Structure 1
Amino acid sequence: MKRLKWIFGGLAVAVVAVLVAGYAALAALDLESYRGEIERRAERATGRELTLTGAMSLSMGLSPGVEVSGVSFANADWGSRAQMATVERFEVEVALLPLLTGQLQVSRLVLVKPDILLETGPNGQGNWVLGGTGGQPDAGTGMTRLPDIAGVRIQDATVRYRDKQTGIALDMTVAEASLEAAGERLAVAAEGTYQSVPFELDGTIGALSTLMTGGGRYPLDLEVSAQETTIEVAGALDQSGRDVSPDVEVTARTGSLANLSALSGLPALTLPDVGPARLESRVRGTDAGYRFTGLKAELAGSDLAGGATVDLAGARIRLSANLTSSTLDLRPFTQAAETATGGGAGGQRLFPDTPLPLAALRGLDADVQLKAGVVKLSDDFQVRELRLSANAAGGRLEVKPLQAELADGSADIALVLDAAQSPADVRIDLDVADLDYGRVLRDLKVSDGIDGQVDLRANLTGRGDSPHAIAASLNGGLEIVGGKGRIDNALLDAAGAGLGDLLAVWREQDEDMILNCAFARFGAEAGVLNSRAILADTEAVSFGGTGEIDLGREQLSLRITPEAKQTSLMSLAVPVRLSGPLLDPSIGPDPLGAVKATAFVVGSVINPLVAVGALVVASETQDQNPCVAALAKARQGGTGKVEGDEGGIGGFLNDMGESIDGALGQSGDGGGNRFLDREQNR
């Protein structure tokens, strides 16, 4: 035992002697003499110049420390400024015993006022990609890995990120941040501002020594909170490829989408104040960007699921997505748009002046497929079974097809919006079949006294950067064809301006007005819809109309002329004028129109629009839909004969065939009309 005591005592003395000798050697070390050597070794290891301009000092203790002031690290040669990073003061403490055996273990690292710029160049390469002599780290320096770091403290840091290709600009300041050893990981805590919004960060990450060694997975589990927004990231950074890429589960929550406008870093992105919102997805890096799988999103009553990829390699961001939804509630967005509009009757406009998000469209390419069970457009109106395919490239958006079921009917829409032009070019092709307009009016709580179905077709083009500008420039055509319908007498009486009295002679007492059919065709020029044919038929009377609807001024002026089916009632025909703002029109008798109507009866006024009404008069003895007969007659180009009426209205029809044909916009061999074809086949 006595011998062992002397052995251990001798070993203790030897250890102390070594420590004293090492301590003495370090104390006598002149750091200034190593300044140039440190700078040269750093440049060989990274390919960038390291400059130490301030004082260098050494503090002694059980954890020797080095303090350096005025540190700067050069940027890439294509960078927007000379330095990638500067540090006002750099402090490092190392463990003494490992240092004596050649191992570098950092017990504490302090960075005071670091200013770091991360940016991408013309080819997409980041300025953080380093290279030593020959473009690779210099193996001769021995800097093959970062040292083990037990703790880090950062004060008053500034970090900027600039992506020249996408325009993304992110700015962050860190008032205080710390990394402390927590088992095999580091506990992280930080507070500061991101895009001028205060934030807090907590969580854990892997050891810094494994972050840049290449290969393997670098674990992280972090939570960031900023402006009613919380983002949780759990998973790892995959270091097996050329670049470090994420493979993480992300959960994001926010009280409003508006919070994300500033946080996104996209200069043209302005999101509405709609929320709350929640997003879950697995995010993995690709060679060109990121892939989102298992995506689930919820926003103010809406849900979305599927997958997406974001490609950042090109001049513009490209988004590809295949999404499904049980419910898409667009009411918060439409209500936000209505709040921003003005003008028109009551301070509102049917077509708002709100600018379309064309800048965002010009900066984003996309290929999106969407299926939705229900799409809520307003509090009382919705569509079902939406199918949408949208492609955007170079500022040109094409939506084809956009299909949906609405009010027991179907809609097929094709839309082209070319924002590469200024103002933007727009084309709309619309085909709606079997729309139950009575149900639409009931759903919108406008009226429950109307029933009927209608087909609608439109081919329109326009230019503009807002809905109002586009509407005011529309050119093309619009056609509406309706079948059997009903209008409640009480509704006619309540319509105002004596409409019930004007129509009283044409309806049975205490019975609703039964509509056999209705037809209208408008030609659009510079935002003005001019009627080429307006026609409605009831049991007692046919109504022909003419006039215009000015979408730019949001005014209408239409004259509806009744034509009696019984000669004894012809003198009672009083035309009606519908005029005023689109959102608040007025209805009243048109005395001038009455004179013109009488002139027509005696044959002194003939025009194609009135001839359309005459077609219905001639069809009173036919079993088929009178409007269908009118359209069929127009298709024949006036070559058919009305049996038993050679010298009366039938002869007039035969002579006016070509005029009617032109009024309806049909040639002799006729283009197709779905409603006409369907009714004739019944």
Structure 2
Amino acid sequence: MRRRTKRILSISSIVFVLLVTIFIVWFDWNMIKPYVERQVTEKTGREFVIRDLDVRLSLNPLISAEGISLANAEWGTEQPMLDVDKVAFRISLWDLLLGDVVLPEVSVARSKIILEKSADGKRNWDLKKEEEKEAELPEIGKLTLEEGQLTYRDPKTETDVIARIFTDPAADAREMPLDVKAEGKFTGLKFKAQAQGGKIMSLADKTLPYPIKASADVGTTHAEVDGTITGLEKLAKMDLKLNVQGEDLSALYPITGIVFFPSPPYQISGRVEHQKTEWSMKGFSGQVGKSDLGGDLLFDTGGERPILRGDVVSKVLDLNDLQGFIGARKAPQPQDTPAEKEKKKASIEAQKDRILPDQEFKVDRLQAMDADIKFTGESIRNKDLPVEHLVTHLKIDNGLLAIDPANFSVAGGNIIANVTINAREETPSGEAKVDFKRMQLPKLFPKVELTHGSTGVIGGTAKIKSHGKSVGSLLGSADGRLGLIMSGGQISNLMLEVVGLDGGEIMKFLVTGDKNVKVRCGVVDFGIKKGIMTTETFIIDTADTNIIGEGQISLVDETIEMKVSPQPKDFSIVSLRTPVHIGGTFKEPTVYPDKMLAIRVGAAVVLGIFATPVAALIPLIETGPGEDNDCKALIASTKQPLPQHSQGSKKKDGPKKH
């Protein structure tokens, strides 16, 4: 009886399995499509459609679906958000019985995905969520992508990129089987990129470093990276070798969100590491214009505002490469559009007769991030200025820029500047204190031959307050004071005679040689009101000659109206009695005696010296009325508060008497 019962049960089991098998084989799987579509639609809040569904039985059944689509958001640019021609995957029944979902093979053919944001910041991938619990991804063995396309659009940032993604057919033989090619517009700039990556499913492991190698062109910027990324979705950790080059460092702002000042063409390379909110580039090196750069940078996005910290060193610094820092305008570039070229040409044309930069500050960028940068220029290259070394510390705090200090080694001495620019308001305001310490006269003007036999140390100070949207407008609205003192040393006698236009003495020195004259004192003191520099004291007192000056220098329109009156202390029958005038503009100054034709000189004008003094010699009578001046009194006068009544008004009553 028991045998019969067992036989019946065995036959029943076989029949059941056969019936199930027949049912599965002949079952039309499309009958469950409505259920699947309804479930996905309810969970996502978007219409979900499957055109055809099929299952082929085996120990690892092959399930395939064709014509899959998921609707885009109502505000989306086009429908659908997801469109897949065919998805096929095998599922392991044995692992399924054990409670695990394992897919040994998955292939996706001809898929299109659109990810986009609306103008008000909505994201089309924010689907309806009924459960807060994060779904676990199945384990996938081999994934094959064929003709995949991903589109990303963000009208707010002017981004519209199409990426084509596929895996190499010989993926198992390659360490980096994923290929990506993308092009379009990124932050309003022309964009093109290509990349190779590791196996796609390794991206699901947030602890596994994912290998990547990529290059991209964004506008005029070209970048190459090679390294690993851990937790790609949130960029939890990164270790990449980076090489970036371009026409202008400031072009990196819309790409990276990091503010750099305008620069000449550059190339920088280093290793980028990222953990949590910090991005670091330690030991980077590169070239900006004719200057080399190196050091460490750290960009931290974890605070109220992102902050850039760094310690940067240039072993050989060309000062021309810093012109963008003070707002110098840039010439049209080959990559500029015709409209951009015309705009730059017009801008440069309007600025051609001026020296002070009028390029407006980008206030929004100064407010976009904070900074704490130390910069050292170990050796300075500049053919016009005797600058030897530079150390500066720049800080930006919510639109308040402070340079504290900028220490220039100049002509054997120092120029130390402390500058603040407050860009928290629509119109920035600025304050500056500049100290001039122990600068040597012959080194200060190395190109002026008449100073080569001179000695003497120059010092002084300047303090100004101002407001404006550019360096030019800040100086053009400045209020304050500038004072310079030369104490001790010697000055070329030939220089003094040239200033005094003493023809007889000049001819004697040209024949028998120059001699030096001891300097008793030299004081130059300007009051500054609304960008107009007006002389309060201007005297150089030597044993041979007094030189007294008066007039104005306009930082508003960059003009000079100065009169220098030499008073020789000796008698000469061929000395010019009338004063010498310095006029013209900063860019094209002129020097001329009263009622005489102007003689044009170069930009380096030193104490009224002009390039061809012999042309101005006129035989006149000189009585030598000059008197010695008290240097202590002159120096003390520069330390007194600036008289309120004399600032900003043009003098009309002749030279100031001392």
TM-score normalised to structure 2 length: 0.72
Q: Which amino acid aligns with 1:310?
A: F
Residue correspondence of structure 1 range 5-154 to structure 2 within 5 A: 24-25=26-27, 27=29, 30-40=32-42, 43=43, 49-58=44-53, 64-72=63-71, 87-96=81-90, 98=92, 102=96, 103-110=102-109, 112-117=111-116, 135-137=132-134, 143-145=136-138, 147-153=140-146
Per-residue CA deviations over 1:419-449 (Å, capped at 9, x if unaligned) read: 112321111111121223433433xx56575
* Alignment partner of 1:173 is 2:161: yes
- The answer to whether the Cα contact below 8 Å between 2:37 and 2:49 also exists between their aligned partners in 1 is no
Question: How big is the shift at 1:51?
Answer: 2.1
Change (3 A) 1:364 1:258: closer
Question: How big is the shift at 1:98?
Answer: 3.5
Q: Which amino acid aligns with 1:252?
A: N
Change (3 A) 1:384 1:500: closer
Q: 2: distance between equivalents of 1:282 and 1:25?
A: 56
Alignment partner for residue 264 of structure 1, among 245, 249, 255?
A: 255
With 412-421 and 258-267 compared, the bigger mean Cα shift is at: 258-267
- The answer to whether the Cα contact below 8 Å between 1:460 and 1:477 also exists between their aligned partners in 2 is yes
CA RMSD, 1 decimal: 4.4
Q: 1: distance between equivalents of 2:535 and 2:350?
A: 23
* Alignment partner of 1:204 is 2:197: yes
Alignment partner for residue 310 of structure 1, among 286, 289, 299?
A: 299
Q: What SS does structure 2 have at the residue aligned with 1:66?
A: strand
Q: Which amino acid aligns with 2:64?
A: G
- The answer to whether the Cα contact below 8 Å between 1:283 and 1:291 also exists between their aligned partners in 2 is yes
Question: How big is the shift at 1:314?
Answer: 4.5
Residue correspondence of structure 1 range 198-277 to structure 2 within 5 A: 198-208=191-201, 210-214=202-206, 216-226=207-217, 229-238=222-231, 243-257=234-248, 260-261=251-252, 264=255, 266=257, 271-272=262-263, 274-277=264-267
Per-residue CA deviations over 1:110-131 (Å, capped at 9, x if unaligned) read: 4644211379999xx9998999
With 535-544 and 470-479 compared, the bigger mean Cα shift is at: 535-544
Q: Which amino acid aligns with 1:98?
A: S
Q: 2: distance between equivalents of 1:188 and 1:170?
A: 27
With 534-543 and 59-68 compared, the bigger mean Cα shift is at: 59-68
Alignment partner for residue 618 of structure 1, among 628, 638, 645?
A: 628
Change (3 A) 1:293 1:53: same
- The answer to whether the Cα contact below 8 Å between 2:300 and 2:307 also exists between their aligned partners in 1 is yes
With 478-487 and 51-60 compared, the bigger mean Cα shift is at: 51-60
Residue correspondence of structure 1 range 154-173 to structure 2 within 5 A: 155-160=148-153, 169=157, 171-173=159-161
Alignment partner for residue 468 of structure 2, among 464, 468, 480?
A: 464
Q: Which amino acid aligns with 1:30?
A: I
Instruction: Mark the runs of 5 or more structure 1 residues left unpaired by the alignment.
Output: 1-14, 44-48, 76-80, 494-498, 593-613, 620-628, 636-660, 668-682
Q: What SS does structure 1 have at the residue aligned with 2:628?
A: helix
Residue correspondence of structure 1 range 525-604 to structure 2 within 5 A: 525-566=529-570, 573-590=577-594
Question: How big is the shift at 1:183?
Answer: 4.9
TM-score normalised to structure 1 length: 0.70
Change (3 A) 1:133 1:663: closer
Question: How big is the shift at 1:501?
Answer: 7.8
User: Percent identity over the alignment?
Assistant: 15
Change (3 A) 1:144 1:65: closer
Change (3 A) 1:587 1:304: closer
Question: How big is the shift at 1:175?
Answer: 4.9
- The answer to whether the Cα contact below 8 Å between 1:344 and 1:554 also exists between their aligned partners in 2 is no
Question: How big is the shift at 1:312?
Answer: 2.4
Q: 1: distance between equivalents of 2:289 and 2:639?
A: 49
Q: Which amino acid aligns with 2:477?
A: S
* Alignment partner of 1:283 is 2:276: no
Q: 1: distance between equivalents of 2:496 and 2:533?
A: 26
Q: 2: distance between equivalents of 1:379 and 1:634?
A: 33
Q: 2: distance between equivalents of 1:246 and 1:514?
A: 69
Q: 1: distance between equivalents of 2:380 and 2:19?
A: 81
1:680 aligns to what? none
2:435 aligns to what? 431
Change (3 A) 1:185 1:21: farther
1:365 aligns to what? 370
Q: 2: distance between equivalents of 1:270 and 1:24?
A: 71
Change (3 A) 1:463 1:23: farther
* Alignment partner of 1:321 is 2:310: yes
Change (3 A) 1:117 1:182: farther
- The answer to whether the Cα contact below 8 Å between 2:203 and 2:231 also exists between their aligned partners in 1 is no
Q: 1: distance between equivalents of 2:350 and 2:385?
A: 23
Per-residue CA deviations over 1:456-491 (Å, capped at 9, x if unaligned) read: 3111111111222112111100011124354585x8
Q: Which amino acid aligns with 1:474?
A: A
Per-residue CA deviations over 1:393-420 (Å, capped at 9, x if unaligned) read: 1211011122131221112110001111
Change (3 A) 1:221 1:455: same
- The answer to whether the Cα contact below 8 Å between 1:404 and 1:411 also exists between their aligned partners in 2 is yes
- The answer to whether the Cα contact below 8 Å between 1:543 and 1:563 also exists between their aligned partners in 2 is yes
Q: Which amino acid aligns with 2:159?
A: D
Change (3 A) 1:418 1:172: same
Change (3 A) 1:155 1:128: closer
Change (3 A) 1:324 1:290: same
Q: What SS does structure 2 have at the residue aligned with 1:422?
A: coil
Q: 2: distance between equivalents of 1:73 and 1:212?
A: 25
Q: What SS does structure 2 have at the residue aligned with 1:479?
A: strand
- The answer to whether the Cα contact below 8 Å between 1:190 and 1:202 also exists between their aligned partners in 2 is yes
Change (3 A) 1:97 1:131: closer
Question: How big is the shift at 1:30?
Answer: 3.4
Q: 1: distance between equivalents of 2:442 and 2:257?
A: 45
* Alignment partner of 1:299 is 2:257: no
Question: How big is the shift at 1:205?
Answer: 2.1
Change (3 A) 1:381 1:51: same
How many aligned positions are there? 559
Per-residue CA deviations over 1:87-138 (Å, capped at 9, x if unaligned) read: 341244334463686433443124644211379999xx99989996563225
Per-residue CA deviations over 1:271-330 (Å, capped at 9, x if unaligned) read: 55x3241221231122x3423333334333433333332232445332122333323334
Alignment partner for residue 353 of structure 2, among 348, 356, 375?
A: 348
- The answer to whether the Cα contact below 8 Å between 2:239 and 2:274 also exists between their aligned partners in 1 is yes
Q: What SS does structure 1 have at the residue aligned with 2:177?
A: strand
- The answer to whether the Cα contact below 8 Å between 2:164 and 2:181 also exists between their aligned partners in 1 is yes
With 525-534 and 383-392 compared, the bigger mean Cα shift is at: 383-392
Instruction: Mark the runs of 5 or more structure 2 residues left unpaired by the alignment.
Output: 1-16, 97-101, 332-343, 597-623, 644-658
Q: 1: distance between equivalents of 2:464 and 2:246?
A: 40
Q: Which amino acid aligns with 1:408?
A: G
Alignment partner for residue 172 of structure 2, among 179, 182, 186?
A: 182
Question: How big is the shift at 1:576?
Answer: 1.7
Q: 2: distance between equivalents of 1:448 and 1:145?
A: 85
Question: How big is the shift at 1:526?
Answer: 0.6
